[in-house]
Chain A
Amino acid sequence: MSSNIERCYQCGQCTAACPMAEQEQAYKIRRFLQMEKLGLKSEEPMAIPFIFYCTTCYKCQDNCPQGVKIVDGLLSIREAAVRNGNILPAHRKIGQMLMDSGHAVPGNEDAKKRRLQLGLTEMPPTVASSEKQLNDIKILLNLSGFDQIVAEEKA
């Protein structure tokens, strides 16, 4: 799961192919890779929240002459930012939903109604139908410290 961004020679072909860069000027994948490669710590705060805008579409990677695993590289940059407490509130919420229900997108009243209308069980045959399985998920999440990662910051 390691990346190879030391191979990057800053040609900018990645940014040129990036659909997010086209929409959001502050989203600069080439710059984020440079920041990481050179260890430009002072720039990191400015890169947040933009590093979280990547759609992981791999278009940059397909366009990179150096075969840099750009998406893996960016995900590692994000992971480090999260470890420093820079998790986006919206992503924290998704993490908490996973903790609570085992699903990042849990069911709701509307979903139950639709499922019944279509002749399905009210709850899907997933962790949503089993306390025991949900408990297993919680055990695993606690073991890897995920509960801490998505915990609300103490006021």
Chain B
Amino acid sequence: MTELSLFLGCVAPNRYPGIEVAAKKVFSRLGVELADLEGASCCPAPGVFKSLDKVTWLTLASRNITLSEKKSDDILTICNGCFSTLKDANDILKEDTTLKKEVNSKLAEIGHEYRGTQDVRHVIEYLYREVGVDRVREAVTRPLNLRVAVHYGCHLIQPLKDSNLEIADKPTFFDELVEATGAISVDYTDKMSCCGAGGGARTAVLDATLKIANKKLEHMKEAGADCIVDACPFCHLQFDMGQSEINQKFGKNYDMPVLHYTQLLALAMGFSPEELGIAMNAVDTSRFIEKVKTETLENEVCTSV
């Protein structure tokens, strides 16, 4: 039995495939079966495509959802943007029968029908609520000695606001999951602020979005973080590629490794940084990889005596 269909989106499989690998490894270790959602497309990205044409956005999103309905799987997203689009579209179509009809008349042309039988989940929210912090902690075999700057991302929090204020209001759920790996989640100024990339802004006005990212990077650095941990491949790209862009354009010298939470957890489960694609970042991660390897080795020795 599969429980969840993994929705890849665009940026993870096509820019940071290490995240795809990590998600699969982590879930298999936790005993939750993840199946590929074959034939899935762009979610489509909430900001850009809702700006171009909402009905197109809704129609393509609903097609992605029908792929999971056919398998009776809930969808697991590893990206805040995909979560926002697919959850939003699912909620709209479950409620609005007129729009559902309109969308279904289009889907009929390709032999699909939206029924509204499945849920859309985000990896962080799913791990927190369904797997639980304790089970995550128990799965850790190599506690990490790291100071982590957690970046929630706007489109992780926003979709949770309707249904789950206690999670969305003053969130700690992501920090708890990070600390389950042995790492420390450091506090920093404006922690809940935006990476700058969303809404089509990165493509429309790159430099301004980099200035937004730069502010956040400054605060993370001030807090003495060893790395950034996010839950969205697009925030991930903005921070990772963004650092080399900022270094070039604004004469800075950032070198902060950026990890998706699934990569952090997989490290703590004993997988090597190389097989998780961490060495493929735009920012040089070799010192970080050294640190993880030597320090976690000590941890392993300590816990085994």
**A interface, CB within 8 angstroms of B:** 1, 19-20, 22-24, 27, 49, 52-59, 75, 78-79, 82, 87-88, 90-91, 93-95, 98, 102-108, 111, 114-115, 118-120, 124-130, 132-133, 136-137, 139-141, 143-146, 149-150
Contact = CB atoms under 8 A, between A and B. Distances in A.
A143 B234 CA distance: 29
B201 A55 contact: yes
B275 A118 contact: yes
Contacts of A22: 212
Given A1-B92, A55-B196, A105 B14 contact: yes
A105 B54 contact: no
Interface residues of B, number: 64
A139 B109 CA distance: 8
A87 B201 contact: no
Contacts of A146: 52-53, 56
B53 A149 contact: yes
A122 to B, nearest CB: 10
11 contacts: A19-B194, A52-B200, A56-B154, A59-B154, A78-B51, A88-B203, A88-B204, A91-B51, A118-B21, A120-B20, A143-B59
B208 A90 contact: no
A54 B201 contact: yes
B116 interface: no
A143 B106 contact: yes
Nearest to A103: B10
A127 B41 contact: yes
Interface string B203-214: 111001101100
A105 B10 contact: yes
Contacts of B56: 140-141, 144-146, 149
A103 B201 contact: no
Contact of B194 (A57, A107, A108, A141): A57
B14 A58 contact: no
Q: Interface centre among A20, A108, A126, A145, by most B CB within 10 Å?
A: A126
Contact of B63 (A87, A106, A137): A137
B259 to A, nearest CB: 15
Interface in B1-26: 8, 10-11, 13-15, 17-18, 20-21
Interface stretch (B42-50, B120-128, B129-137, B142-150): B42-50
B55 interface: yes
A94 B203 contact: yes
Contacts of A53: 201, 204-205, 208
